[in-house]
Amino acid sequence: MRVLETGNHLVALAANAAAVEVVPAYPITPQTQIIEMVAELIVEGKMDAEYIPVESEHSACAALVSASLTGARAFSATSAHGLAYMHEMLHFAAGIRVPAVMVNVNRALGPGWNIWCDHQDSISQRDTGWLQVYVSSHQEVVDTVIQAYRITEDHSVLLPLMLNLDAFVLSHTYMDADVPDREEVSRYLPGYRPLWKLDPRKPVTHGSVVYPVDFSETRESMQLGQDNARSVVSRAAEEFRDVFGRWHGAMVDGYLMEDAEFLIVAMGSIAAESKVAVDGLRARGKSVGLLRVRFFRPFPIEELRELCAGREGLLVIDRDYSYGMEGALYTEVKAALYGHQVVPARSLIVGLGGRDVTHELIADYACKAWDGQLGEITWGDSHITRAHEITREVLCEFEELLDT
Amino acid sequence: MRQMVSFKDLPEEELFLAGSTACQGCPSSLALRIAFKALGSNTILIVVASCTSVLQGSYPLSAIDLPLMNVAFATGGASASGVVAGIKAMAKKGELDEEPTVLVWAGDGGTYDIGIQSLSGAAERGTDFIYVCYNNEMYSNTGTQRSGATPLGAWTTTTPGGKAQHRKDIAQIMIAHRIPYVATVSLAHPLDFYQKMLKAKSIKGTKYVEILAPCPPGWKFPSSQMIEVSRMAVQSGMWLLYEHEDGETRFTGATKRMIEGKVRKKPVKDYLEIQGRFRQILASPEGQKAEDMLEEEVSESIRRLQGWVPEYI
Amino acid sequence: MSRDDESVGYITSISRPVKGCAGDTGEWRVFRPVKDDDKCNNCLLCWVYCPEASIAKDTLEIDFQYCKGCGICAVECPTGAIEMVKEEKR
């Protein structure tokens, strides 16, 4: 069914199409439209799921985990501080190996309070054991929610998945998209068949105390699940294309990459904007392509090694920062290439707290990076405003207090 | 009316299996045993991080013959909401013959302190489950630190001079949630406990049951005295047995007889003196004051409860 | 890729219920409950109060493989039929 909807509403419609059975959720801007629509669909009898109006995100993730462990298909959505508040339970969900799916609407973490887009929230949850995918269009939102359960519920994976979409740029903008109905989806995504669960017919203890002598293997097993996910992600994308005729890439996606001498590497909506930048640069005769990292976990190591080989340079765009180091995507890209490819790379930090990132800006920095005019790390849209000057004045006044 | 039961009526089947990692005389082990006898094998157990996470044994063996999920400290209520919703979904698909009872088992740390929000949320949502708090009045699992349930004057490793504050009354907080059933029980009165669990199982909605769980190493008394300390807690009024249903409270068992004047209330001091955790405060110049304050706490608790009892209103 | 075989694929913290998950916990005992059958009136209190589920309901026999010797049965027995006796050195 073709609809004209916000990215958030498309998430809810896709979750319904994926026949999710339990939805624990707690409202937070900019995610609220998702759970409002889920609640509405249930009340209208259009969605057959149990909605749990939890009292916090920590509880949302706890209920997500326990519902999933009963064998039900569980779904939730959150953002920023909500995701941060879940942190303990994110580890728990991966550690107890439930194939739940959660949408995170990427938003900056305060203070200063900021409800707009950046990737700091999900990047900060990098090491929790969740699969992480970043989407860049409305249709990809729909299709990836559906693909997500194919990936997580595969018995060789059994790890939760976090689907990240950019606040406002994707979450609140309306776009025409196709939402397949449940019947169609069920041909691609059959019901969840748990390998283990809470079942009175088979009483076992889940989440036991594990002593040092046995612990490491449980963690290596999680890594194996992540490793296995690589091929499952590709299979899920390919079979999705066979059934629905749509393709958004698998571990990575690319745009005019094949003959490109220089690559922009980006995630989320900045990657979509980068396509426009690439078009502009191509029109100016510059052989630039886009490598969009779709899955951040597992990280597309092999794909990067293959796709970056022989390029003259990379510009890696981060909408996040690992303080005391650099942009997280930049770190990962370099780590993937280390010892395999020698490709000059530059890091661009832009779009924090929802600042608009234009294709002109991206194109400009791509040229500068290629021409060797950029230092290693560039805060590309940083400039002092009148507001910052007022802060300086206030700080001066504090300094005067120190002197009195 | 409750049916009269005797020890003979308690099922022989043990879902708490012998040879666990619990300490000698562990009140949680005994409480689990009796609760399981009331609830039976069609029960899903959620264990909140506590001594019970440890006394059940460790990977890959378990002392608990039920489907059990160990959960994070602050998540008892939310985990129950998730399981109950999941069960509904499974039942809709015909994957469950009979919907299991969902039981959360948490200590006082996981209930009074870190888990109160999650419990409150589940109660407000009306999640259909039984929440049992086994209250040993301290963080026993981490080596006996103070909790919101630690009584005034008690020694813990983080109140080396005795706790300066009163404990909170969480059962009353649960009553304020307007849930259908709240009960307190004592291990010295196992039939009362058993019957209250049966009743909790029969009622739909959120049920809260709290057990006083005297911890031999934490409270510093010999393991053989565990039932005796439980009994004395009731006799002194430091632990009041009652159940709250349909907006009314009923004192039960030994507490009822005490309130009705059929047996004399023992002084709080008798209870304090059979444990090591009050030894310090009793020997100090503050001892008498602490004792008086605890006696007043008991009287105040009884008066508050009587406000819910029809014959006293 | 950490290893070729998939042997760690499903290693998660799941445990199987068994009697004696902590081994023969009877070895923890310092004192041993000794029951005088002549004094026992089969009231079942010892069975009910045993925290370790180590007394049989039908025979009231103590399972010394698991009894940790907490002594609750001896204290609570209304007829004084159970006595705690120091364990001999093993």
Give residue-wise pLDDT tens across range A21-76. Answer: 999 999 999 999 999 999 999 999 999 999 999 999 999 999 999 999 999 999 99
Of A156, A196, A209, the CB nearest to C14: A196
A366 vs A288: CA distance, rounded Å: 8
Q: Please, which residues 63-92 of chain B have a Cβ atom closer than 8 Å to chain C? A: 63-66
The residue among C5, C10, C16 with the most chain A CBs within 10 A of its CB, best to mutate, is: C10
Q: What is the ipTM of this complex?
A: 0.97
Question: Which burial class, exposed, middle or buried, applies to A90 when counting CB atoms under 10 A from its CB (0-12, 13-18, 19+)?
Answer: buried
Burial A254-266 (b: 16+ CB within 10 A, else e): bbbbeebebbbbb
Per-residue confidence at C10, pLDDT binned at 50, 70, 90?
confident
Burial A16-53 (b: 16+ CB within 10 A, else e): bbbbbbbbbbbbbbbbbbbbebbbebbeeeebebbbbb
Q: With beta carbons under 8 A apart, name residues in chain C contacting A218.
A: 11-13
* Cα of A93 vs its chain's centroid, Å: 17
Give the C-alpha distances (Å, rounded to integers) separating B261 from A106, A175, B189, B265, B298. Answer: 64, 75, 19, 8, 15
Tokens standing for residue A7: 């990215």
Closest CA to A186 of A222, A219, A146: A146
Question: Which burial class, exposed, middle or buried, applies to A341 when counting CB atoms under 10 A from its CB (0-12, 13-18, 19+)?
Answer: middle
* Chains touching C by CB (3 or more pairs below 8 Å): A, B
Give the C-alpha distances (Å, rounded to integers) separating B50 from A115, B118, B156, B213, B277. Answer: 37, 16, 17, 13, 20
B142 vs B113: CA distance, rounded Å: 15
CA angle A224, A226, A227 (to 5 degrees): 60
pLDDT of residue B2: 62
SS3 B233: helix
Q: Please give the residue of chain A at the shortest CA–CA distance from C3.
A: A224
- Cβ-defined contact of C52 to B34 (cutoff 8 Å): no
* Cα of B37 vs its chain's centroid, Å: 16
A353 vs A167: CA distance, rounded Å: 10
Burial B75-96 (b: 16+ CB within 10 A, else e): bbbbbbbbbbbbbbbbeeeeeb
Of C6, C8, C13, the CB nearest to A208: C13
Residue A141 has pLDDT above 90, yes or no: yes
A264 vs A271: CA distance, rounded Å: 8
Residue A55 carries which DSSP code? S
A36 vs A58: CA distance, rounded Å: 19
B90 vs A73: CA distance, rounded Å: 10
Per-residue pLDDT, averaged over C8-25, amounts to 92
Note if the pTM is more than 0.95: yes
Q: With beta carbons under 8 A apart, name residues in chain C contacting A225.
A: 9
pLDDT of residue C8: 66
A392 vs A382: CA distance, rounded Å: 16
Of B18, B30, B58, the CB nearest to C66: B18
Give the C-alpha distances (Å, rounded to integers) separating A293 from A2, A10, A275, A332. Answer: 27, 22, 13, 11
Angle at which helices B116-125 and A57-69 cross, to 10°: 70
What are the backbone dihedrals phi and psi of residue B134, each rounded to the nearest 5 degrees, phi first?
-95, 110
| Cis-peptide, bond into residue B287, ω within 30° of zero | no
pLDDT of residue A19: 98
What are the backbone dihedrals phi and psi of residue A29, each rounded to the nearest 5 degrees, phi first?
-70, 135
pLDDT tens profile A184-238: 999 999 999 999 999 999 999 999 999 999 999 999 999 999 999 999 999 999 9
* A27 lies within 8 A of chain B by CB: no
Helices (H), A153-292: 182-188, 212-244, 268-283
Instruction: Kindly state the greatest CA–CA separation across chain B.
Output: 66
A55 vs B265: CA distance, rounded Å: 42
pLDDT tens profile A259-308: 999 999 999 999 999 999 999 999 999 999 999 999 999 999 999 999 99
- Cβ-defined contact of A196 to C12 (cutoff 8 Å): yes
Q: How far apart are the first and last CA of chain A?
A: 70
* B53 lies within 8 A of chain C by CB: no
The whole-angstrom distance between C4's CA and the closest CA on chain B is: 24
Residue B275 carries which DSSP code? S
Residue A162 has pLDDT above 70, yes or no: yes
Tokens standing for residue B267: 């002084």
Per-residue pLDDT, averaged over C31-54, amounts to 97
* A53 lies within 8 A of chain C by CB: no
Beta-strand relationship, C31-35 and C82-86: antiparallel
A113 vs B146: CA distance, rounded Å: 36
Q: Please give the residue of chain A at the shortest CA–CA distance from C1.
A: A227
B123 vs B135: CA distance, rounded Å: 19
Per-residue pLDDT, averaged over C72-83, amounts to 98
- Cβ-defined contact of C15 to B7 (cutoff 8 Å): no
User: What percentage of chain C's residues is helix, strand, coil (to nearest 5)?
Assistant: 15, 20, 65
What are the backbone dihedrals phi and psi of residue B60, each rounded to the nearest 5 degrees, phi first?
-105, 25
Beta-strand relationship, B101-107 and B43-48: parallel
Q: Please, which residues 215-274 of chain B have a Cβ atom closer than 8 Å to chain A? A: none
Q: Please give the residue of chain A at the shortest CA–CA distance from B117.
A: A55
pLDDT of residue C2: 46
Residue B112 carries which DSSP code? I
Q: Please, which residues 61-80 of chain B have a Cβ atom closer than 8 Å to chain A? A: 62, 64-72, 74-75, 77-80
Per-residue confidence at C1, pLDDT binned at 50, 70, 90?
very low
CA angle B40, B224, B109 (to 5 degrees): 60
Q: In what order do the strands lie in the sheet with B68-71?
A: B61-62, C14-17, A205-206, B68-71, B43-48, B101-107, B129-135, B206-212, B181-186, B242-245, B248-251
Q: With beta carbons under 8 A apart, name residues in chain A contacting C12.
A: 96-97, 196, 218, 221
Residue A374 has pLDDT above 90, yes or no: yes
A396 vs B240: CA distance, rounded Å: 61
Tokens standing for residue B258: 């005490």
Tokens standing for residue A385: 């405003």
pLDDT in tens, chain B (313 residues): 466 789 999 999 999 999 999 999 999 999 999 999 999 999 999 999 999 999 999 999 999 999 999 999 999 999 999 999 999 999 999 999 899 999 999 999 999 999 999 999 999 999 999 999 999 999 999 999 999 999 999 999 999 999 999 999 999 999 999 999 999 999 999 999 999 999 999 999 999 999 999 999 999 999 999 999 999 999 999 999 999 998 999 999 999 999 999 999 999 999 999 999 999 999 999 999 999 999 999 999 999 999 999 988 7
Per-residue pLDDT, averaged over C55-74, amounts to 98
Count of H helices and E strands in chain C?
Answer: 2, 3
Give the C-alpha distances (Å, rounded to integers) separating B277 from B173, B268, B288, B308. Answer: 26, 14, 15, 32
Between A61-70, A114-123, C80-89, the lowest mean confidence (pLDDT) is in C80-89
What are the backbone dihedrals phi and psi of residue B16, each rounded to the nearest 5 degrees, phi first?
-100, 115
Q: Residue holding tokens 């490491």?
A: A216
Per-residue pLDDT, averaged over A127-135, amounts to 98
